[in-house]
Chain A
Amino acid sequence: MSEEYVLQLQHIRKEYPGVVALKDVTLELKPGEILALIGENGAGKSTLIKCCSGAVIPTSGKIIVNGKEFSSMTPQLAAENGIAIIYQEFNNVKELSAAENLFLGRPIRKGIIVDKKAMEEAAAKAFDQLHIKIDPKAMMKDLTVGYQQMVEIAKAIQQSAKILIMDEPSAPLTSAEVESMFEVVELLRKKGVSIIYISHRLEEIYRLSDRIVVIRDGEYVKTLITKESQVEELIQLMVGRELTETYPPRGDCIDKNEVILELKDVTGNGDKNISLKLYKGEILGLGGLVGAGRTELAEMIFGSVPKKSGQMIYKGKEIDPKSPREAIDLGIALVPEDRKRHGAMLGVSIKNNINMPIYERNSHMSVIDEKNEQETAEKYRKNMVIKTPNLNQLIKNLSGGNQQKVILGRWMAADSELIIFDEPTRGIDIGAKYEIYKLMNDLVEKEGKSVLMISSEMEELMGMSDRILVLAEGNMTGELQKEEFSQETIMTYASTASKE
C-alpha cells in the first residue's frame, strides 16, 4: 500500500518548551519525483527536514521510509535507509582533497593506511557519473562554493542515497553555478532518486518540481501539482494573505540639491578609484557580481576597513572614519550581509541589540538609563513591527526578517542618516521581504534618510533603486538612471573586465 511513496511523514508534531514548531505536518514523497517544500522563514521547514535526518526527534507522528515505520530517526538510521541531506552549510573539511571529502569518515584503506589512489579513482568515477568536472586531488578550500556543493551531492549518491533533501541549495551559488546544479538534480531524478527541494526562489520551483508542499506557521497548508498552480496562489498560500506588489511604490523624495555622501577616487580594500554621489532621500543601488568589491566599499565608508587614498565627503565635510564607532557617531550605519555573524548578537536580547550602539550615550557615569533603554526598544518594536511578545527575548529566537528589523531599529535608534544595506533581504522570506522594502521606503520618504543598497538580486536592485551603479573587479563600470534599468545592461557592466 505504501509502495506508492518512498518517504512519508505523517502527522509530525514537534514541541519545544513554550513553542509548537510543527503541528500535524504530513508530507509524502513519490519515487523519482522532485517535491518542493516551501514556506516562509520560521514556517518549520528546517525542523521538518531535521526530523528526517534524526537531528530533531518529533514529539509525535510517524516517519515511514520504504514501508518501514519509525517514530523518530537517528543520523545512522537515516543513512541506512538512504536518506541524505544537503544543508546550506556544508559538512566538509577544507584542508582535505575532494576525494578525501567524498570518503570522509569511511576512507578506502589498506590496513591502517588510507589508499589515496583508490579513493581518487573512485571519486573521479563518481564525479563522472554526475557529469561534473572536479579534480579529485583538488583541495576543498580551492573549490568554488558550487563545486563544494557538488562534492556533497556526489557524497550522498556514493553512499547510495535514494532520498535527497536539499535545503536552499541555490542560496550560496552564482547563477551559472545554479544552472549546473539544476542539471545534476535533473540527472539524479532520471536515475530514480527522489528529491525534496527547499527554496525561496519560486522560479526554481516551477522549473524543477513535480509537486509542491506548502507549510505555514508549522502547519501543513496544501499540496499542489506544480503544472497546475499559479505563482500568486502559491505566494498567498505561503504568507496567508494576498500580496499585490513585490515592491511597494515610493513617492519622489530625492533632494538633488543636497549630496549626503560623495566619494572621490576612493581606493583601497580591493577597490580602485571609486567616485559616486548619493543624494538625500535617494536609494542608490550597487550592482555587480559577487566579489566585485561592493561590500568592500561599504566597509570603507563604515570605517571598518581604512581606505588607502581618495576623499569621502559626508554632508559637506571630508571624513575619514577609522572605526565603525566613528562612522556611527557621524550618522552612518551598516546593515551587513551575514546577519548571524556580523549583524545580530544572537546570544543577546532584542532590547540590548537595539540599544547597543547608544548605550554610552544613554549612560550617566557609566550607568545605563534603563527607562530610556526600555522606551527606545519599545518605540522601535512598534515602528519596525517586530513580532515578539517580549523584548528580553534573545534575538536568535526571531525569524530572519524580524532579526533584520531589529538591526534596522538599532540604526534608527542611533539616529543614522545614511544607511548602507548589504543584501537587505538575504535569507528572508517573501512576506517579510515586502515589509523590509516598505521600511526602506519609509526611511527615505518619511524620515529623510538616504540609502546605499548592495544587492545581487537583479529584481530587487531594479525594483528598489532610484539609480544603479555597477562595480566589476573593484572598478566602477557603469551608472544607470531609472529609465535605463535592464537586466542585460547591468550584466554587461558587471562583467566588464578591468582596464588598467
Chain B
Amino acid sequence: MKENKIGNIIRSQGIWVVFIVLCIGFTIANPRFITATNLLIMLRQVAVWGIASVGMTFVILLGDIDLSTGSVITFVNVLCSYLMVNMGVPMAAAIIITLAASTLIGLLNGFMVSTIGIPALIATFATQTAFSGIALIICDGQPINGFTEAFKVFGQGKIGPVPVPVIIMILCFALGAFILNKTYFGRYFYAVGGNIEAARLSGIRTGRVKYLVFALSGFFAGLAGLVLLSRVNSGMGNAGLGYEFKVITCVVLGGVSVAGGSGRMSGVIAGTFIISALNNGMVLINLNSWIQNIVLGIVLVLAVGFDCYQKKRQAN
C-alpha cells in the first residue's frame, strides 16, 4: 500500500489533479490560457455558479436537490431591477429586499419538502416553474436597464487586479467551509444526509435543518443573481435559465455524493474551477459551443464515474 504514493494522492485529491492536468493541457494548446489576466477572467465567468454552488452543496449533502436555483437567479434579476429602476428604491434597500425574497423562496421549498413531505425534486421543480413565470410577469418580458454606477461594482468592479465577483465567490466558499467544518449545524447536515432517522433520534430537529438548508440555498442563489445582474447590467426574464444544472455540475463534480452525507467544500471549489477552466479553455482553443456541451457531459460522467467506481471497488 505504501509503494503507491502517487496513486494515493490521485485517489484522495483526484479532483485537483484533474484540474491541474486540464490547465496544463490548455496551456500547451494555447499559452495564453495561463496568463494572470486570463485566469482572472476565467474566475469571473464562473463566480455566479460558484456562489450558488455553496447553497447547493448543503442541499445535496442532505441528499436532496434544488432545481429552483436558476429561477431564483432570474427572479432576483428582475425583482432587483424593478425595485431600483421602476420604483426608485435605494440600492441597499433593494438588495436587502431581494436577498430576503430569495431566502423566502428557499423557505417555501423547505416547507414543501420538510413539512408537507413532497420530494425535493418535485417541490423545487414546481418553484422553478412558478417563479420563472412570476419573473416574466414582473418585467413584462422586457429587459430592465438603467442602474446606478455604484451597483455595477458587484459584477464589474475590481479591487486591485481582482474582480469583485471573484472576491465575493471566495468569501462565499470560505463561509461555506466554515459552516460545514466549524458550526454545529454543519455537523447536522452530514448527520441528516447520512441517516435522517438516527439523526432525529439523537436529538437533531431534522425539520429545522431542512428549512435552514433550503433557505441557505435560496440565499446564495439570490446573491449569485445579484452579481449576475450587476455584471450584465440588465435585468432579464431569462437570466438564470439552466443555471441550476451548471451549479449541480460544479457540486457533483466536486465529489459531493448525491445520496447525501458526504462531501467537502474544497471538492466543490475544485469542481467549480474545473468547469471554469473547461469553459474558458475550450473557447481559447476555438471549440464550437455544441462540442463544448458534449465535452462537459463527458467530463461529468468521467469525474463522477471515477469516484463511484472507486467506491464500488473499495466495497469489495
Contact = CB atoms under 8 A, between A and B. Distances in A.
Interface of A: 17-18, 55-57, 302, 304, 323-325, 328-329, 334, 336, 341-348, 352-353, 355-357, 359-360, 362-363, 366-368, 370, 410, 414
A323 B205 contact: yes
B184 interface: yes
Interface in B200-219: 200-205
Question: Which of B184, B191, B197 gathers most chain A CB within 10 Å?
Answer: B184
A348 B201 CA distance: 15
A353 B188 CA distance: 11
B194 interface: yes
Contact of A352 (B190, B200, B201, B262): B190
A304 B201 contact: yes
A356 B183 contact: no
Interface string B1-40: 1000000000000000000000000000000000000000
Given A324-B201, A359-B184, A352 B191 contact: yes
B125 interface: no
Question: Which of A334, A356, A363, A414 gathers most chain B CB within 10 Å?
Answer: A356
Interface residues of B, number: 23
B201 A368 contact: no
A370 B197 CA distance: 25
A345 B316 contact: no
B184 A345 contact: no
A363 B203 contact: no
B312 interface: no
B118 to A, nearest CB: 22
21 contacts: A18-B1, A325-B204, A328-B203, A334-B201, A341-B195, A342-B198, A343-B198, A344-B198, A345-B195, A346-B194, A347-B261, A348-B187, A352-B191, A355-B187, A356-B199, A356-B202, A356-B204, A360-B184, A367-B182, A368-B184, A410-B202
A341 B187 contact: no
Nearest to A299: B201
Contact of B184 (A323, A344, A366, A410): A366
Question: 10 closest Cβ contacts across the A-B interface?
Answer: A359-B184, A347-B194, A357-B203, A328-B203, A356-B202, A366-B183, A363-B184, A325-B203, A347-B261, A345-B198
Contacts, number: 83
A352 B261 CA distance: 13
B186 to A, nearest CB: 8
B185 interface: yes
A83 B210 CA distance: 46
Contacts of B201: 302, 304, 324, 334, 336, 342-343
B183 A341 contact: no
B198 A341 contact: yes
B258 to A, nearest CB: 14
Nearest to B190: A348
B78 to A, nearest CB: 33
B11 to A, nearest CB: 10
Nearest to B182: A367
A66 B136 CA distance: 74
Interface string B253-288: 000000001100000000000000000000000000
Contacts of A370: 182
Contacts of A362: 184
Nearest to A327: B203
A196 to B, nearest CB: 21
Question: Which of A57, A304, A367 gathers most chain B CB within 10 Å?
Answer: A367
Contact of B183 (A18, A324, A342, A363): A363
A324 B261 contact: no
Contacts of B194: 345-348
Given A341-B198, A348-B194, A356 B187 contact: yes
B200 to A, nearest CB: 6
